[in-house]
């Protein structure tokens, strides 16, 4: 993220890069193993850092960020699949209900036409 050449960027590109890097840094800080108090303190300090200091801080944060373990990823996938399955079942149920209600309305409409 920090390997872009900011010296050649125009103002719009620089602003976009800054926002992207800020988001990256915030996510890295959030994912780090630092205590909540340490995270809060660093979040305050970042606002006064130069870009070079932020880049160095990001490199240090990466040392304090643990990659997810395989079993954690598997558990997350399992939970996400369960949520997706529940969502799919609900969508199917709602679709069937809507089709049944539409068929009922059409039958009532046809009966009303025939009666008229």
pLDDT tens digit sequence for 80-114 = 999 999 988 888 888 888 888 988 999 998 888 88
Asked, for residue 57, whether it belongs to a domain, the answer is: yes
The tokens of 67 are what? 């990659």
Asked, for residue 48, whether it belongs to a domain, the answer is: yes
| pLDDT at 40 (0 to 100) | 93
* Alpha helices, H only, the chain: 11-31, 36-46, 51-63, 70-115
Asked, for residue 79, whether it belongs to a domain, the answer is: yes
| pLDDT at 41 (0 to 100) | 93
107 and 59 in a common domain: no
57 and 93 in a common domain: no
Q: Using an 8 Å Cβ cutoff, are 34 and 42 in contact?
A: yes
* Domain span at 107: 68-116
| pLDDT at 81 (0 to 100) | 92
Q: What is the pLDDT of residues 18-56, one digit of tens each?
A: 888 888 898 889 888 889 999 999 999 988 888 888 889
Query: CB-based contacts of 33: which residues, under 8 Å, 6+ apart?
Result: 64, 65, 66
The tokens of 100 are what? 């049944």
72 and 56 in a common domain: no
What is the spatial distance between Cα 26 and Cα 19, in angstroms, rounded to a whole number?
A: 10
Asked, for residue 1, whether it belongs to a domain, the answer is: no
| pLDDT at 68 (0 to 100) | 67
Asked, for residue 54, whether it belongs to a domain, the answer is: yes
| pLDDT at 106 (0 to 100) | 92
Q: Using an 8 Å Cβ cutoff, are 33 and 64 in contact?
A: yes
Asked, for residue 42, whether it belongs to a domain, the answer is: yes
């Amino acid at each position: 993220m920090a390997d872009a050449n900011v010296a050649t960027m125009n103002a719009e590109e620089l602003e976009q890069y800054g926002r992207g890097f800020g988001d990256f840094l915030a996510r890295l800080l959030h994912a780090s193993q630092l205590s909540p108090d340490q995270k809060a303190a660093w979040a305050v300090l970042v606002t006064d850092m130069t870009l070079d200091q932020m880049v160095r801080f990001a490199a240090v944060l990466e040392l304090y960020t643990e990659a997810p373990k395989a079993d954690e990823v598997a558990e997350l996938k399992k939970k996400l699949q369960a949520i997706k399955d529940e969502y799919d079942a609900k969508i199917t149920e709602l679709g069937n209900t809507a089709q049944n209600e539409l068929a009922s309305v059409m039958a009532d409409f046809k009966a009303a036409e025939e009666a008229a």
